[in-house]
Each structure stands twice: as structure tokens, then as C-alpha cells.
Amino acid sequence: MDSTAAERRHRAFLAAAQLRYPWQFRQRGRAGDSDPVAVDVPPGWYGLLEHLFEAVEQTLPAAEHGGFRWRRLRSRQGTIEVAYDGVRESVSPLVATARETAAVTCERCGRPGARREVAGSYAVSCRRDYLDRLLDRHPGGEGGARQWWTSPQPGLGGRSPATMVQSGGPPEMLVEQALRLAMPATPRLNGAHRQRLQGAWPVLREALGEGLRSLRLAEFEPARRRGATLIGLMAGEADASAQAAAVNRLARNGFSDLRLRLVGQPDLVRPARAIDPWSCMLAVEASVTIPRHQPTLPPFAR
């Protein structure tokens, strides 16, 4: 959808909601002041917001309408951010349901999806729209992506991606090939970088134990002074709470510039099926190993 059509669709959605539920979009402030509700969500989430507006309409009694208004409804890195004035006890469960629905609803088309990363940017996408996001990162730009899309590919059995998608949703092998094409350059580390990064090993081993089998670094651009992605390869499935604890431990030990991703080694066999396909493919195609930290022993202990 082009930007003009998307803007028209957004305005039509917002106008319809304001006409149907005017009290939920009441402006705040003195007469003459303008304080509109900030609504910025992708079209795939229009339906779940319409359900939210209707649920609030059915839940709040008329006596509480005067104190309620939406303040902000917007997408942020694959999650929906909601802020409002008014009674929280009745509305909070409705907002929680909307957030849970958004987490599994494609932002672009409204079909079932999952929150996926592409080069540090997160969005909830179905497989087809995730493929489109990956093609936006094609090294040949828009022209290169178009040529790849219509040309026979050896890795796809001599068929073109367009032909494969015509027969149904994009298969796993097609998503995996697009992931490979979207990968950044493999980092180059000098001695100082490598020595510093080795210091992350004991920090993470303390947090993750023997489950941590390997550390790899990707998306490292020292010239631009950006953070890098540190990928911890785990023996089994990565635990979200363990990852949060490890991130905090890294920050306390001077590694706040590293974005930690934990990847289970079984996921490396089929990255397109993993919970975190981007990090899996980084580990396979576009990262370097951080050697295990070896503490210096005193001479008499050698």
C-alpha cells in the first residue's frame, strides 16, 4: 500500500471511531486549546482497536464517560502502547486483551503473526509480510530485490520466489534465503575489541551457568559508535528470565552497549522456524566467535 492510500485509510478509520465513540476521543483543556488523541497504529491493528473501543463502550457506565478519554494509542517496536485518563479498574483488563491480541496479529494485514526482528527493528508480521521486511534489506536495494523475486534461484529448486508464493504462503526455505540475503557484513575485531569482549564470558557464565556453550558477535560497527549484538548459544532452549538477568549483569559490568540474544543451538538447524530468526541467522552467517575468557595464572601455578 502506497503512503497516500495508507494515510487515507488511517484517516477514515480514525474518523469512523471518533464519530461512533465521541466521548472516548474528547479533547482535554480549556476552550480553544487543541489536545487531540494521538493514534498511530498500522492497519492490521485497526480491527483490534475497534473491538477495544466497543468493549469500553459496553463496560463503562454513562456516569463515568466524562472522566474517560484516550490519550495515546500507537505501535512501538511490535507492541501496542496505550495511555488513557479515567477509571483503570474497569479498562485495564480490556487494554491487556488488546495488547495480547496485537502480539499475535500482523501489523500490516491483520492475519496471525509473531513479533520478529529485522536489523534491530521489531514488528508483528505474518510470514509473507516478514518476507517483505527482509526484502527491504536486500543488499541490491529495491532493484536487486525485484530481480531476485522474479529470477530462478538454485536454492529454490530453480524456481523464482514469485512462483513459489503464487502457490501459497512463502515456504520456510524462501524465508531462510531472504534472511541470508538481508544479513549485515561479518564484523572484524581488532585485538583490543577481542580482549574487551572476552570479559563478557565470566559475567555471562555466572548468570547462565554451563548452558552457555559459545559467544558470537554480530552487527558491530565501531566507526558509527553503535552497540553490537552479542549472541549466546545455549545448549537447550533460551530462557527469557535468564536473558533479562544476564542483560542486567552485563550492564553492571560495563557492557551496556551489547544487545544480548540467547539462541538455542537446535534452532540453528532451521533458523526460519526459530522464535528469533534474525539472531539465529546472524549466528550462522554473519558473526564472529568470542574466545572463552582465560584468566591469567600466576607463574607458580603454571
Question: DSSP secondary structure string, 67-111?
Answer: G-EEEEEEEETTEEEEEEES-HHHHHHHHHHHHHHHTTB-TTT-S
Average the pLDDT over 250-272 and give the result.
93
Average the pLDDT over 22-37 and give the result.
74
Q: Does residue 200 surpass a pLDDT of 70?
A: yes
| Residue boundaries of the structural domains of the chain | 3-102, 114-182, 191-289
Q: How confident is the model at residue 28 (pLDDT cuts 50, 70, 90)?
A: low
Beta pairing partners, 69: 85
Contact 56, 47 (CB under 8 A): no
Contact 140, 119 (CB under 8 A): no
Contact 263, 231 (CB under 8 A): yes
Grid coordinates of 260: 544480548
Q: Does residue 62 surpass a pLDDT of 50?
A: yes
CA distance 269 to 266: 6
Average the pLDDT over 44-67 and give the result.
94
- Helix H, strand E, coil C: the string for 115-174 is EEEECCEEEEECHHHHHHHHHCCCCCHHHHHHHHHHCCEHHHCCECHHHHHHCCCCCHHH
Q: Does domain 191-289 have CATH number 3.30.70?
A: yes
> Tell me, what's the pLDDT at 19?
95
Digit-coded pLDDT (tens) for 105-138: 999 999 999 999 999 899 999 999 999 999 999 9
Of residues 213 and 36, the one with the higher pLDDT is 213
Q: Does residue 192 surpass a pLDDT of 50?
A: yes
> Tell me, what's the pLDDT at 3?
73
CA distance 70 to 23: 9
CA distance 216 to 201: 11
Contact 45, 57 (CB under 8 A): no
Average the pLDDT over 254-263 and give the result.
94
- The lowest-confidence range among 100-104, 239-243, 256-260 is 239-243
* Residue-averaged pLDDT of the chain: 89
